[in-house]
């Protein structure tokens, strides 16, 4: 039912404006408002906090369908849900849940997640943002880079160092509100793809946040961040899956319509093989993604499976969006057809929330331990 609802919404509300969003980089405020009304910004939030109370797999299906229409919209909802809602659900106090989750569920506020820094990406331990306890508050200084939703977010789940001598055990997460003095946001970064996702740099200058803003306990920040990314990787895999599905559908339609040498190009074995490879890879990716989501719903270990799903789905999306451009020939290289947008959007899925190389490290660590 959720799949059908989201698919119908995407066809009517998202796909018609996806090209314009890509051209202008405008944040899709109207779409987000409607998603909030449909309960799709609070899919995994329990009903007692104003959400839909649906399964994680239902949310993953929604991300796939949204990304099939517009990858920017997909990642906006993914960041909001996987990287802001989920850590509050898992680690927040009852007071924090009641304060933030109802507003996140409706879209009254959008969430973001601050981990990456200008000199710390895959190496989270190299981050420099600090939080120093001063009376009943922490004073935070530093910056974060490439933060999705930062331009519009009402709250950010922020990873800091509270004790430089303890390494990974000296990190703490905070729930930081946008209007906190000392919190500043850069202009959106100009990107290759997912252009309507407001990706910005955050800066913190003697920003004071109360002790009550700590998420979990002091020193649990790295653990919370890694747990959060495990779930987020499944959702990014779903985004990649949606992008690949869109490129596949465009390629099938074009192969049936485009004629050369007196027949549709889909009659030629070279094109058939590309289409067959797309169909097989996408179905394999879908099974990996859905299985990882199911494991999470069952409260079973899923870190390895999340990494596998993200690795396979993102690389499949990149492979097959390139093939989709090839199927379209010269037209595929023009801005007239959406396959070029899918190709540009697909690349980031191999990079954020853990590069493909990091996913291979995670998988190998599980297999070889």
CB contact at 8 A, 95 and 36: no
From CA 136, how far away is CA 268, in angstroms rounded?
A: 71
Residue written as token pair 């074995």: 269
Distance CA 197, CA 178 (A): 17
Residue 315 known to be catalytic = no
Tell me the C-alpha to C-alpha distance, in Å, between residue 317 and each of 221, 347, 358: 32, 8, 18
Please provide residue 52's backbone torsions phi and psi, each rounded to the nearest 5 degrees. Answer: -90, -20
The catalytic position among 19, 108, 353, 357 is 353
Q: Is 157 left (phi over 0), alpha (psi -120 to 50) or beta?
A: beta
3-state secondary structure of 286: helix
The helix (run of H) or strand (run of E) holding residue 207 is strand 200-210
322 touches 230 (CB < 8 A): no
* Residues in the chain, overall count: 369
Determine the longest span between alpha carbons in the chain, in angstroms: 80
Half-sphere exposure of 2 (CA within 13 A, CB side): 22
Place of tokens 């451009």: 325
CA distance 167 to 222: 10
Pairwise CA distance, residues 28 & 149, whole Å = 11
Mind telling me the catalytic residues?
Answer: 353
């Amino acid at each position: 039912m959720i799949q059908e609802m989201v698919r119908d919404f995407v066809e009517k509300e998202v796909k018609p404006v996806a090209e314009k969003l890509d051209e202008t980089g405008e944040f899709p405020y109207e779409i987000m408002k409607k998603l909030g009304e449909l309960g799709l910004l609070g899919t995994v939030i329990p009903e007692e906090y104003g959400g839909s109370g649906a399964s994680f797999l239902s949310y993953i299906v929604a991300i796939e369908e949204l990304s099939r229409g517009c990858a920017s919209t997909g990642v906006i909802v993914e960041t909001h849900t996987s990287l802001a809602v989920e850590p509050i659900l898992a680690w927040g106090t009852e007071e924090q849940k009641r304060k933030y989750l109802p507003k996140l569920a409706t879209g009254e506020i959008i969430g973001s997640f601050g981990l990456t820094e200008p000199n710390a990406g895959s190496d989270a331990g190299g981050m420099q943002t600090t939080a120093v306890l001063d009376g009943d508050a922490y004073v935070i200084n530093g910056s974060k880079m490439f933060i999705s939703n930062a331009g519009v977010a009402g709250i950010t789940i922020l990873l800091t160092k509270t004790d430089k001598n303890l390494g990974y055990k000296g990190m703490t997460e905070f729930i930081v509100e946008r209007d906190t003095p000392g919190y500043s946001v850069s202009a959106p970064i100009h990107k290759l793809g997912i252009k309507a996702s407001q990706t910005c740099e955050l800066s913190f200058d003697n920003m004071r946040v109360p002790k009550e803003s700590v998420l979990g306990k002091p020193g649990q920040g790295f653990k919370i961040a890694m747990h959060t990314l495990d779930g987020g990787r499944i959702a990014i895999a779903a985004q990649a899956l949606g992008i690949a599905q869109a490129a596949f559908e465009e390629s099938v339609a074009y192969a049936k319509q485009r004629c050369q040498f007196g027949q549709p190009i889909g009659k030629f074995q070279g094109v058939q093989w590309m289409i067959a490879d797309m169909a097989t890879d996408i179905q394999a990716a879908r099974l990996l993604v859905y299985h990882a989501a199911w494991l999470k719903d069952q409260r079973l270990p899923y870190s390895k499976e999340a990494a596998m799903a993200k690795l396979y789905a993102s690389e499949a999306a990149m492979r097959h969006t390139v093939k989709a451009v090839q199927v379209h020939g010269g037209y595929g290289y023009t801005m007239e057809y959406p396959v070029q947008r899918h190709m540009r959007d697909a690349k980031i899925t191999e990079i954020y929330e853990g590069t493909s190389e990091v996913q291979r490290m995670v998988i190998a660590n599980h297999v070889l331990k």
